[in-house]
Amino acid sequence: MAQEIMDLWPCKKFRPYLCPPQPTGPPPVWASTQRARLLGPKPNATGPRPRQTRPALGQRKEGERAERKDELMNHLLGRGVHIPRPAAANRGGTTTMEAAAISNPPSKRIALVTGGNKGVGLETCRQLASRGLRVVLTARNEARGLEAVDGIRRSGAADSDVVFHQLDVTDAASVARLADFVRDQFGRLDILINNAGISGVDRDPVLVAKVKDQIEGMDVDQRVEWMRENSKETYDEAKSCITTNYYGAKLVTEALLPLLLLSSSGRIVNVSSGFGLLRNFNSEDLRKQFDDIDSLTEKRLEELLDLFLDDFKANLIEAHGWPTGGSSAYKVAKAALNAYTRILAKKYPTLRINCLTPGYVKTDISMHMGVLTPEEGASNSVKVALLPDDGPTVAFVHLLVRHKMEGDISSLPTKRVAVVTGGNRGIGLEVCRQLAADGITVVLTARDETRGVEAAEKLRGMGLSSIVFHQLEAAEKLRGMGLSSIVFHQLEVTDSSSVSRLADFLTTRFGKLDILVNNAAVSGMEYAQGVDTNEEQFVGMDKQQRLEWLNKQGRETYDAAKNGVQTNYYGTKLVIQALLPLLLQSSGEGRIVNVSSDAGLLRWLVNNEDLRKELDDVDILTEERLDEVLDSFLKDFEAGALEARGWPTAPFVAYKMAKVAMNAYTRILARRHPELRVNCAHPGYVKTDMTIDSGFLTPEEGGRNVVTVALLPDGGPTGAYFDEGREASFLG
C-alpha cells in the first residue's frame, strides 16, 4: 500500500514523509522551545547567580511573548490539549517527530484547517470540533495558534478535540513537518480546508475607526469601493498574495494528498471568493484559458501567474485584460486556485474537491466591513466539508446563507423559490406563469436578454409580481418600463460562467432554492427557413404523421447533433450541479424536474438490447459510463454508423439520445440524494417553436403537466418518469 501511495505522490520532495528516513542535525528552534515546556524545566544550575541586566525594549516584548506562550502551553497541557513535540534524540544523534501513529486508526474523522487561529478559520475549527471531528488547527504564529486552541476549549464546544500545529503555508519545510505529524499521529487525513490567505494589498487598519459609524449604512458595493479607495496595491504585496493564496494552498495540498487518499471519504475544500470568478477578467482570451479545464495544466497556470506578475510590474494590468478595480492579485490568485481545484478533481475522482466562497465576512482581510459574521461564513465552509460521499466535486459552491444586502426583498425568502430554464416562451413561460400563480417566487431565465425582458413584462402585465428575471445589464430597461421590482438574470446553460452567475444571484437573493425546472432544450436539427405553420394542414394527422412532417422540415447534421447533446444533457447537468447546494438548503424537500420526452424512452434502443439493459440498471450505471455512451454515439453519428451500431433511428436521433441520458442521470441523482424529489416530466406533444406548432397540446396544457410534477407533495415519488402528469415506465 505504501508503494501505491508513493506512486501517487504528486510532489517528489514530499515522498520521504510517507516513510521518512531519520533526519540528521539539531532539532528546529520551535521544537526545542516546545520540548523545554513539555518535558519540564532543567535542574537548577549550581554556582553563582549571574548578574541581572535590564533587557532592551524589543527583548522585553519578545520575553513577554515567550512567557505568554509558556503559560499557554502549560495551561493547555493541564487541560489535556495535545501539543505536537519532537521525540528525544536517539543514540545516533537524530531527532524525529513524535511517533504517535496508532496501530488502530482513529475512529473520528480528522480535519485540518490552515489559517485556523482567527476569523473564518477559527470558526471552522470550532464548528467541526463541535460536530465530533478531531481538528488540527494550524497557524503561522505559534502563540496565536495556542491561544486559538485554548479559546475553543474555553468556549465549551462539546468536548472539543482540537490539536495545534505550527504551519507557514509558503515554507516547504514547515509544510513537510505538518505532513509528517499528521502521518505519525493519525495515519490518514479525511478533510483538508485550505483557508489561509492574505489580501494582497496594503491597508491601514486605523482607517476603519473613521468609518465605523457609517458602515451599517453602506451597502456591499459601497463597502467594497471604500476598501478599494483606501488600499494600495504594490508589486511586493501582489507577489506575496500569489505565493500564499495559490502556491501555498497547492503546497499544502500536495503534501497531504497521500494521507487524504488513505481516507474512505477524503475532502479538500479550497476557500475561494467571488473575486475569483472569471467574470472579473477583462480579457476573453484569459477567461477561456482559465476556464478550459480539458486543456489547462498546472504548468500553464504557473505561466499565466508569471505573466500577471510581469504585467503588474510593468503597469500593464489593464492593457492586457487582467482584473482591475482593486485587489487584482487576490482576484487572479483565487481564479488560479479555482482552476487548480478543477484540475485536481479530475485527477482524483475518488476525492470530493470543491471551492467555496464563504461570503463577505467580517474578518481582518475585509477590515471587518463584511456583512456576515465569522460564524455564518464558517458554517458555509463546514457544510461543504461535510457534503455526503456522493456529493458534488469540482464545483464552485457559493455561500449558503443569504447576504444582508441593500435591495433584498425581505418577504421573498419566506416563499418557495423556483428557477425555470428556457423560461421566455412556450412551455417554460407557462411553467413560470403557473408556478407564480401558485404563490411561488419564480426566477425566469433565458439565453436571449431581450426575449427574457419581454417575457417578464408579459407576466408582470398579468399581475404576477413574483416573477424575477435577472440580468444586471438590463436593469435600466426594466426601470424604463416601470418594472422597478423586477431583477434580471440571463442564462446560457452550456456556459459555466453564466451558470455560476445565476448561482451567485440566487445565493445572494434567497440563500436557497426549492424548485428547479430544467426546461431549456434544442431539437438537435437544422430547420429550413420559412416553414408553413398553418395549423389546418395538421387536421386529420396522427402523431406519427405529424412527426414525419416535422422531420422533413429539417436535417440532422453532426454539428446540430453535438449541440443537442451538449445543451439537452450536459447543459442540464451543469445547472443541476451548480444549484444543488442551494436545493439542499430548501426548507422542504427540494425539487428537480427535468423536462423530458417520450423520445427519451429506452424502447428506442430496440436494436441494442445490451445498451438498453445497461442504461436501465441504475444500481450499477454511473455518470462516467453515460459520458462514454454519448461519446460513442457522436463518433458513430459522424462516421455514419448509427444503424449498424444499434442506435435510435431517425427522426431526432440526437434528441432521443440526449433525453435517454438525461432520464438515466435523473435516476442516478435521485438515488444519490433521497432527501430531494428528482423526476422527469414529459409534457406531451406541445405546440411550440421546437415542434413548429405541430403538436396536439397547448403550451398551457404542457406547462400544467410539468407543474404537476414540480408540486408533488413531500414524500412523493423520486427517480420517476411522468407522462403528461401520470407516472409511467422509463422503458415505454
Selected from 2.60.120.260, 3.40.50.720, 3.40.50.2300, 1.10.3720.10, the CATH number assigned to the domain covering 412-525+535-728 reads: 3.40.50.720
- Positive or negative: CA dihedral 452, 454, 458, 463: positive
pLDDT tens digits for 369-405? 666 788 887 888 888 888 887 767 765 544 333 332 2
Confidence of residue 650 (pLDDT cuts 50, 70, 90): confident
The grid coordinates listed for 604 are 428506442
Active site residues: 330
**Ramachandran angles phi, psi of 304, nearest 5°:** -65, -40
Q: Which three cell numbers stand for residue 700?
A: 398551457
| 659-678 confidence digits (pLDDT tens) | 999 999 999 999 999 999 99
Q: Average model confidence (pLDDT) for the chain? A: 76
Dihedrals φ, ψ of 113, to 5°? Answer: -120, 125
Q: Give the confidence band of 491 by pLDDT, cuts at 50, 70, 90.
A: confident
Q: Return left, alpha or beta for 687; rule: phi > 0 is left, psi -120 to 50 is alpha, else beta.
A: beta
Checking DSSP bridges between strand 721-723 and strand 726-728, what pairing results, if any?
A: antiparallel
The separation between CA 143 and the C-alpha centre of its own chain, rounded to angstroms, equals: 33
The CA-CA-CA angle for residues 422, 425, 426, to 5°, reads 100
DSSP string, 65-124: HHHHHHHHHHHHHHTT-----BPPP-TTS---B-----SSPPSS-EEEESSTTSHHHHHH
Reported as a single tens digit per residue, the pLDDT across 496-529 is 888 988 888 888 777 889 999 999 999 888 877 7
Where exactly are the structural domains of the chain? 412-525+535-728
Which has more confidence, 175 or 104? 175
Q: Do the Cβ atoms of 571 and 577 come closer than 8 Å?
A: no
Quote the cell numbers at residue 731: 422503458
Nearest to 85 by CA among 189, 186, 185: 185
Length of the chain: 732
Report the distance separating Cα 216 and Cα 362, nearest Å: 12
pLDDT at position 40:
34
Using DSSP bridges, classify how beta strands 202-203 and 231-232 pair: parallel, antiparallel or unpaired.
antiparallel
User: Helices (DSSP H) in 212-327: which residue ranges?
Assistant: 220-229, 235-242, 249-261, 284-291, 298-313
CA distance 2 to 378: 35
Q: What pLDDT sits at residue 651?
A: 80
Exposed, middle or buried: residue 687 (CB in 10 Å: 0-12, 13-18, 19+)?
buried
pLDDT above 70 covers a percentage of the chain that reads 70
647, 651, 654, 657: CA torsion to nearest 10: -50
Q: Is the peptide bond before 26 cis (omega within 30 degrees of 0)?
A: no
Largest Cα separation within the chain, whole Å, is 118
Pairing relationship of beta strands 441-444 and 726-728 according to DSSP bridges: unpaired
Please tell me the distance from the alpha carbon of residue 231 to that of residue 207, in angstroms, as a whole number. Answer: 10
Contact 268, 397 (CB under 8 A): no
Asked whether the predicted pLDDT for residue 79 surpasses 90, the reply is: no
Supply the pLDDT for residue 194. 95
Residue 367 pLDDT grade (very low, low, confident, very high; cuts 50, 70, 90): low
Angle at 27 between CA 21 and CA 33, to 5 degrees: 145
| Region of 364 on the Ramachandran plot (φ > 0 left; ψ -120 to 50 alpha; else beta) | alpha
Res. 42: pLDDT tops 50 = no
Question: For 657-660, which contacts have Cβ atoms below 8 Å and span 24 or more sequence positions?
Answer: 657/565, 657/630, 657/633, 658/524, 658/564, 658/565, 658/567, 658/568, 658/569, 658/600, 658/630, 659/568, 659/596, 659/597, 659/599, 659/600, 660/600, 660/601, 660/602, 660/604, 660/605, 660/615
Spatial neighbors of 88 by CB under 8 A, at least 6 apart, are 95
Angle at 318 between CA 315 and CA 321, to 5 degrees: 125
**Helix/strand/coil (H/E/C) assignment for every residue in 246-269:** HHHHHHHHHHHHHHHHCCCCCEEE
The band of 406, judged by pLDDT with boundaries at 50, 70 and 90, is very low
* Backbone φ and ψ of 593, nearest 5°: -120, 115
Q: pLDDT tens digit string along 303-355?
A: 999 999 999 999 999 999 999 888 889 999 999 999 999 999 889 988 999 88
